[in-house]
């Protein structure tokens, strides 16, 4: 059963080929046997999953089943889950048990999904490799010496290893799309405000967005339909009807105008990734799409602008973790100042502390306008570049990541090199646009992802492009040689 997509599992459950309880038990056993080699889960919720599966079977028997009834998934450990530890990859929250569900979790439960557990992640979503996690790095099932990407690396590794058919992730600068690319998955970052951020532990509030990781565009459409929608508890969540994303998957892209940003094909891009991207473009052209070159002239400023804006917002958001109200507290503090200093110094990892310091500096008196204010003006120019390009074409296409999965430990001593892993994804978050990564090839046995970027609230369009591509190719069907038929 683990080799089936989410959509295929739904069809199997509807046909009575197996029960939700049988499916859940199969995947729980697989996680128990195989995940010690991957470290993709930090918490398993077996008893809760069994209870949810039984409820789904009962609802299906009564004819009252919800859209995702009995379908298993995992949640990134950044989403609060009532009665379950929500650690956000950090020692700071290692003992935190959330007293409520995030809206995404609540919506998935209302749709009948079964939660298998919580997945590993970079600490407070700060990282591109899953190596900053307090619980150790997750590993890429295509090669366990390689990183799975980040920050949603645990979710991506779990789906790629067929431990779960789908998982939630969050994307602040590429943290759904980059791990999707490195693991041969389809990962969608929706338009900012399309999915509620309530109950999702904040990193950078103007950039964070929740979305799905799965094997196909069909699966992502099914999941987005369940998680999207207005939430009055989140002031940044847009009050706009939710499209029927599954119905949008016609596979017809005749006449679709695809723009290739010239800045997505720099000289230093791995030529094999460039070739895989161009081959994907040729396949889409065969299906009737029209292709032209476009320009995003300020794209090279996206990484420096992001690494001022995101740390500044992180500095503000993470100020609440002070050892007083909840989370990690140092032992035997000598004073209130000592409590603050040691709790934060001991509770946060080095990457989180680095970004807090950078962000605090950027927001400090005398430097705010020189750094944060200027970065926001650059952000406006980047958004305007996208709007100009998307006024000429329907979708933008290019590589998701500049390289395939790299060795664990290869970049941990060079933060700037690590930051450049998101060079093609960060600008999308700065502009608030929707984007999707889809599998498009293999290089030295490792997956390559191609990214499709759409205009605001055009998730259906980019999902349909990916669906058309997946009807013509089988890259999304490729699986790592991991775990056999357990």
Q: What is the rounded CA–CA span in Å between residue 445 and residue 176?
A: 21
267: confidence class by pLDDT, cuts 50, 70, 90: confident
Residue-averaged pLDDT of the chain: 96
Q: What is the rounded CA–CA span in Å between residue 181 and residue 229?
A: 26
Work out the average pLDDT over 73-92.
98
Tokens of 255: 């006449």
485: confidence class by pLDDT, cuts 50, 70, 90: very low
| Residue 212: pLDDT over 80 | yes
| Residue 268: pLDDT over 90 | no
Work out the average pLDDT over 140-157.
98
Instruction: Give me the residue spans of the domains in the chain.
Output: 1-486
| 105-139 CB burial, b ≥16 within 10 A, e <16 | bbbbbebbbbbbbbbbbbbbbbbbbbbbbbbebbb
Q: Which CATH class is domain 1-486?
A: alpha beta
Q: What is the rounded CA–CA span in Å between residue 21 and residue 271?
A: 46
| Residue 483: pLDDT over 80 | no
Angle at 296 between CA 294 and CA 300, to 5 degrees: 140
CA distance to 26, 87, 95, 324, 406, per residue, from 328 (Å): 36, 11, 7, 9, 32
131: confidence class by pLDDT, cuts 50, 70, 90: very high
Task: Give the pLDDT score at 482.
Answer: 83
**Which residue from 434, 70, 391, 56 is spatially nearest to 217, judged by alpha carbons?**
434
Which pTM value belongs to this model?
A: 0.96
Beta bridge mates, 75: 118
Tokens of 294: 């476009």
By percentage, how much of the chain surpasses pLDDT 90?
A: 97
CB-based contact 192:444 (threshold 8 Å): no
pLDDT in tens, 420-476: 999 999 999 999 999 999 999 999 999 999 999 999 999 999 999 999 999 999 999
pLDDT in tens, 322-363: 999 899 999 999 999 999 999 999 999 999 999 999 999 999
Catalytic residues: 76, 151, 175
Work out the average pLDDT over 245-268.
96
Task: Give the pLDDT score at 484.
Answer: 56
| Residue 486: pLDDT over 50 | no
Work out the average pLDDT over 162-166.
98
Beta bridge mates, 449: 439
| Residue 159: pLDDT over 90 | yes
């Amino acid at each position: 059963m683990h080799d089936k997509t989410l959509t295929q599992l739904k069809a199997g459950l509807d046909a009575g080929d197996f029960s939700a309880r049988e499916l859940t038990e199969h995947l729980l056993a697989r996680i128990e046997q195989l995940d010690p080699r991957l470290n993709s889960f930090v918490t398993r919720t077996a008893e809760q999953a069994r209870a949810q599966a039984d409820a789904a079977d009962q609802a299906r028997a009564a004819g009252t089943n919800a859209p995702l009834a009995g379908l298993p998934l995992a949640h990134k450990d950044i989403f609060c889950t009532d009665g379950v530890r929500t650690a956000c990859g950090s020692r700071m929250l290692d003992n935190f048990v959330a007293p409520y569900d995030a809206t995404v979790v609540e919506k998935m439960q209302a749709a009948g999904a079964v939660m298998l557990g919580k997945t590993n992640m970079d600490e407070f979503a700060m990282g591109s490799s899953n190596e900053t996690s307090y619980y150790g790095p997750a590993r890429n099932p295509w090669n366990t010496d390689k990183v799975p990407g980040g920050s949603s690396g645990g979710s991506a590794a779990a789906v790629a290893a067929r431990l779960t058919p789908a998982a939630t992730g969050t994307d602040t600068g590429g943290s759904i799309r980059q791990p999707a690319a490195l693991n041969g998955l389809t990962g969608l970052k929706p338009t900012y405000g399309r999915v509620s951020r309530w109950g999702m532990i904040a990193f950078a509030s103007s950039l964070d967005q929740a979305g799905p990781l799965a094997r196909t565009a069909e699966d992502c459409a099914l999941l987005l339909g369940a998680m999207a929608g207005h939430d009055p508890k989140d002031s940044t969540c847009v009050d706009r009807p939710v499209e029927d994303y599954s119905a949008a998957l016609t596979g017809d892209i005749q006449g679709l105008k695809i723009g290739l940003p010239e800045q997505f094909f720099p000289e230093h891009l791995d030529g094999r990734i460039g070739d895989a991207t161009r081959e994907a473009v040729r396949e889409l052209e065969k299906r009737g799409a029209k292709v032209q070159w476009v320009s995003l002239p300020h794209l090279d400023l996206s990484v420096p602008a992001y690494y001022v804006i995101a740390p500044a917002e992180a500095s503000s958001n993470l100020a609440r973790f002070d050892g007083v109200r909840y989370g990690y507290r140092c032992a035997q503090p000598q004073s209130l100042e000592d409590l603050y200093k040691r709790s934060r110094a001991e509770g946060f990892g080095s990457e989180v502390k680095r970004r807090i310091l950078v962000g605090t500096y950027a927001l400090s008196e005398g430097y705010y306008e020189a750094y944060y204010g200027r970065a926001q003006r650059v952000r406006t120019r980047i958004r305007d570049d996208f709007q100009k390009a998307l006024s000429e074409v329907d979708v933008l296409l290019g590589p998701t990541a500049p390289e395939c999965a790299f060795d664990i430990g290869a970049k941990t001593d060079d933060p700037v090199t690590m930051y450049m892993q998101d060079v093609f994804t960060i600008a999308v978050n700065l502009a608030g646009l929707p984007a999707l990564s889809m599998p498009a090839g293999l290089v030295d046995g490792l997956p390559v992802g191609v990214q499709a970027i759409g205009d605001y609230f055009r998730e259906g369009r980019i999902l349909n492009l990916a669906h058309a591509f997946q009807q013509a190719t089988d890259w999304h069907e490729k699986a790592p040689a991991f775990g056999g038929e357990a």
